[in-house]
Protein backbone atom coordinates (compact mmCIF):
# COMPACT_ATOMS: atom_id res chain seq x y z
CA UNK A 1 0.00 0.00 0.00
CA UNK A 2 1.36 3.39 -0.98
CA UNK A 3 1.30 6.20 1.58
CA UNK A 4 -0.65 9.28 0.58
CA UNK A 5 -0.78 12.70 2.20
CA UNK A 6 -4.56 12.37 2.40
CA UNK A 7 -4.11 9.50 4.86
CA UNK A 8 -2.26 11.76 7.29
CA UNK A 9 -4.77 14.55 6.82
CA UNK A 10 -7.67 12.22 7.58
CA UNK A 11 -5.87 10.82 10.63
CA UNK A 12 -5.18 14.32 11.95
CA UNK A 13 -8.83 15.28 11.51
CA UNK A 14 -9.89 12.27 13.55
CA UNK A 15 -7.41 13.13 16.31
CA UNK A 16 -8.64 16.72 16.36
CA UNK A 17 -12.23 15.58 16.81
CA UNK A 18 -11.21 13.08 19.49
CA UNK A 19 -9.52 15.72 21.66
CA UNK A 20 -12.98 16.70 22.83
CA UNK A 21 -13.58 13.12 24.04
CA UNK A 22 -10.56 12.03 26.12
CA UNK A 23 -11.86 8.55 26.94
CA UNK A 24 -12.54 7.80 23.28
CA UNK A 25 -9.16 9.26 22.29
CA UNK A 26 -7.46 6.90 24.74
CA UNK A 27 -9.37 3.91 23.37
CA UNK A 28 -8.59 4.89 19.78
CA UNK A 29 -4.87 5.35 20.41
CA UNK A 30 -4.69 2.15 22.42
CA UNK A 31 -6.31 0.26 19.54
CA UNK A 32 -4.45 1.84 16.63
CA UNK A 33 -0.99 1.65 18.23
CA UNK A 34 0.81 -1.41 19.47
CA UNK A 35 1.57 -1.35 23.21
CA UNK A 36 5.22 -0.60 22.37
CA UNK A 37 4.27 2.29 20.05
CA UNK A 38 1.92 3.73 22.69
CA UNK A 39 4.68 3.58 25.31
CA UNK A 40 7.27 5.03 22.92
CA UNK A 41 5.10 8.06 22.15
CA UNK A 42 4.54 8.72 25.84
CA UNK A 43 8.27 8.39 26.57
CA UNK A 44 9.19 10.67 23.68
CA UNK A 45 6.97 13.37 25.13
CA UNK A 46 8.67 12.97 28.51
CA UNK A 47 12.04 13.38 26.78
CA UNK A 48 10.90 16.70 25.30
CA UNK A 49 9.61 17.99 28.63
CA UNK A 50 12.83 17.01 30.42
CA UNK A 51 14.97 18.61 27.73
CA UNK A 52 12.94 21.81 28.03
CA UNK A 53 13.52 21.69 31.81
CA UNK A 54 17.28 21.60 31.23
CA UNK A 55 17.96 17.99 32.21
CA UNK A 56 21.07 16.58 30.52
CA UNK A 57 20.88 14.01 27.74
CA UNK A 58 22.60 11.37 29.87
CA UNK A 59 20.32 11.94 32.85
CA UNK A 60 17.24 11.66 30.64
CA UNK A 61 18.54 8.49 28.98
CA UNK A 62 19.21 6.91 32.35
CA UNK A 63 15.92 8.01 33.92
CA UNK A 64 13.73 6.91 31.00
CA UNK A 65 15.86 3.90 29.99
CA UNK A 66 16.37 5.09 26.42
CA UNK A 67 19.49 5.61 24.35
CA UNK A 68 21.30 8.92 24.30
CA UNK A 69 20.68 8.90 20.53
CA UNK A 70 16.92 8.89 21.16
CA UNK A 71 17.29 11.88 23.46
CA UNK A 72 19.52 13.64 20.92
CA UNK A 73 16.89 13.22 18.22
CA UNK A 74 14.33 14.85 20.49
CA UNK A 75 16.80 17.61 21.23
CA UNK A 76 17.27 18.32 17.52
CA UNK A 77 13.53 18.59 17.01
CA UNK A 78 13.15 20.78 20.09
CA UNK A 79 15.83 23.13 18.72
CA UNK A 80 13.45 24.09 15.90
CA UNK A 81 11.94 27.19 17.49
CA UNK A 82 9.06 27.16 14.99
CA UNK A 83 8.38 23.43 15.34
CA UNK A 84 5.47 21.60 16.86
CA UNK A 85 7.22 20.75 20.11
CA UNK A 86 7.95 24.41 20.85
CA UNK A 87 4.41 25.41 19.96
CA UNK A 88 2.83 22.81 22.22
CA UNK A 89 5.21 23.49 25.11
CA UNK A 90 4.56 27.22 24.85
CA UNK A 91 0.82 26.73 24.73
CA UNK A 92 0.39 24.13 27.46
CA UNK A 93 3.45 24.38 29.75
Give percent of the chain with pLDDT exceeding 90: 81
Q: What is the pTM of this model?
A: 0.82
Predicted confidence (pLDDT) per residue in 20-33, tens digit: 999 999 999 999 99
Round to whole Å and give the CA distance between 2 and 84: 26
Predicted confidence (pLDDT) per residue in 65-83, tens digit: 999 999 999 999 989 888 8
Q: Summarize the confidence of residues 48-71 as an average pLDDT.
A: 96
Reduce the DSSP state of residue 93 to 3 states and report it.
coil
Residue 48: exposed, middle, or buried by beta-carbon count in 10 A (0-12, 13-18, 19+)?
Answer: buried
Contacts made by residues 31-34, CB under 8 angstroms, sequence distance 24+: none
pLDDT at 21: 96
> Which residue ranges make up each domain of the chain?
1-32, 34-93
Amino acid sequence: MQYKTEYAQEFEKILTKLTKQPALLHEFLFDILSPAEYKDLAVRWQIIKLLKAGVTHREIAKKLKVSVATVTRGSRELANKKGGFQSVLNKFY
